[in-house]
């Protein structure tokens, strides 16, 4: 059903997915905004900036020119959440989505101003095409090395979900399906701030007890807000929820975790952000999720403190003290 794909976005995850879809046998186009980076990829088949050890298959057509893209069956969006709407509009204008059977979001975030999910942004720019999400504990570095990985394809259309699932099924990459696109997207966005918190705890030289407590309480908060937004409880106990949360909170590959670790070590956030080309979605996501929680009246003390550290000038150690000085309460409350 799906024979061709265009991957939009040339960061580490976009590069890994372009390779993965080519390994699966699809006809793959790969677009990135940075002309210099895409020229390097085209000439050397490697991205020295993001995934230097991955050799991109020769069959993948690489370009920085949207007008050069041919229509494809599946468009895979892998751009930072803040750039999603603008990029989707450009793709619509150039005609690259003119015969698309499905649009797949692989980006994790919630728009700050409106609280919209990534598929809602894509769908507003390219209406009338089925929408899907690929999410889960998927580090690009490990997929590039073909290490065993599992993911979730969320789509309201069961047959389309199976078609997308087939594209993301390889000997080392196993994907499952769900119809809970809302829960899958909220889960994917919410794990990012907690990965920053896990990094902060490590930077402060906290121990295993701290991290285990943090991840457990983070999941409780994710469930509360995700269900309030319309997601299903069981989604948050699957790969897109607890799986992704664990993968980012414990991993050396997580950009959000690295940002948190440097914060815990005392480095200013502006300095951390300016020192890396990679986008840590959790910094912006924290503000978006904090706003959503307040609008819904959902109690999220851990997220409140992460937001205060990132956006209100609170020190990490002050945030930790605030959490532990709260009034005692039942665990299930």
> 14 among the known binding-site residues?
yes
Rounded to whole angstroms, the Cα distance separating 169 from 185 reads 20
- Do the beta carbons of residue 154 and residue 331 sit within 8 Å? no
> 287 among the known binding-site residues?
no
> 5 among the known binding-site residues?
no
> 82 among the known binding-site residues?
no
Helix (H) or strand (E) holding 294, with range, is: helix 281-296
DSSP string computed for 226-291: HHHTT--GGGGGSIIIIIHHHHHHS-TT-HHHHHHHHHHTT--HHHHHHT-SS--HHHHHHHHHHH
> 11 among the known binding-site residues?
yes
Rounded to whole angstroms, the Cα distance separating 122 from 109 reads 13
> 128 among the known binding-site residues?
no
Angle formed by the axes of helices 181-203 and 255-264, to 10°? Answer: 30
Greatest C-alpha distance within the chain: 60
Of the candidates 156, 169, 128, 150, the residue with the CA atom closest to the CA atom of residue 2? 169
> 10 among the known binding-site residues?
yes
> 33 among the known binding-site residues?
yes
Rounded to whole angstroms, the Cα distance separating 314 from 192 reads 19
- Do the beta carbons of residue 150 and residue 176 sit within 8 Å? yes
> 255 among the known binding-site residues?
yes
Of the candidates 184, 220, 181, 203, the residue with the CA atom closest to the CA atom of residue 331? 220
> 191 among the known binding-site residues?
yes
> 271 among the known binding-site residues?
no
> 254 among the known binding-site residues?
yes
Write down the catalytic residue from 191, 205, 232, 314: 191
DSSP-derived letter for residue 69 is P
> 62 among the known binding-site residues?
no
* 191 among known catalytic residues: yes
Binding site for sn-glycerol 3-phosphate: which residues? 108, 136, 191, 244, 254-256
What positions carry a catalytic annotation?
Answer: 191
Binding-site residues for NADPH: 12-13, 33, 50, 108, 140, 255, 279, 281
- Residues annotated in a binding site for substrate: 108, 255-256
Give the annotated binding-site residues for NAD(+): 9-14, 140, 255
Residue numbering of the annotated binding site: 9-14, 33, 50, 108, 136, 140, 191, 244, 254-256, 279, 281
């Amino acid at each position: 059903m799906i024979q061709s794909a265009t991957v939009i976005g040339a960061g580490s995850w976009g590069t890994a997915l372009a390779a993965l879809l080519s390994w699966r046998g699809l006809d793959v186009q790969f677009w990135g905004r940075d002309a210099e980076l895409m020229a390097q990829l085209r000439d050397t088949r490697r991205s020295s900036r993001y995934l230097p050890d991955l050799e991109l298959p020769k069959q993948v057509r690489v370009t920085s020119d949207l007008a050069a893209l041919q229509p494809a069956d599946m468009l895979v969006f892998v751009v930072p959440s803040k750039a999603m709407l603008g990029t989707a509009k450009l793709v619509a204008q150039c005609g690259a989505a003119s015969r698309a059977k499905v649009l797949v979001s692989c980006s994790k975030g919630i728009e700050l101003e409106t609280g919209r999910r990534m598929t809602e942004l894509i769908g507003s720019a390219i209406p009338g095409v089925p929408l899907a999400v690929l999410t889960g504990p998927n580090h690009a570095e490990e997929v590039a090395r073909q290490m065993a990985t599992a993911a979730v394809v969320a789509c309201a259309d069961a047959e389309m979900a199976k078609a997308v699932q087939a594209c993301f099924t390889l000997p080392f990459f196993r994907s499952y399906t769900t119809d809970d696109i809302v829960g899958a997207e909220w889960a994917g966005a919410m794990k990012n701030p907690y990965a920053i918190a896990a990094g902060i705890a490590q930077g402060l030289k906290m121990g295993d007890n701290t991290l285990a407590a943090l991840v457990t309480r983070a999941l409780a908060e994710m469930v509360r807000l995700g269900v309030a937004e319309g997601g299903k409880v069981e989604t948050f106990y699957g790969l897109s929820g607890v799986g992704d949360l664990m993968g980012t909170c414990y991993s050396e590959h997580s950009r959000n975790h690295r940002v948190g670790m440097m914060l815990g070590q005392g480095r200013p956030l502006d300095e951390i952000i300016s020192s890396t080309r990679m986008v840590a979605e959790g910094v912006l996501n924290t503000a978006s999720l904090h706003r959503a929680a307040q609008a819904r009246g959902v109690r999220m003390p851990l997220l409140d403190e992460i937001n205060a550290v990132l956006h209100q000038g609170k020190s990490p150690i002050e945030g930790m003290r605030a959490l532990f000085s709260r009034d005692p309460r039942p665990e299930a409350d």
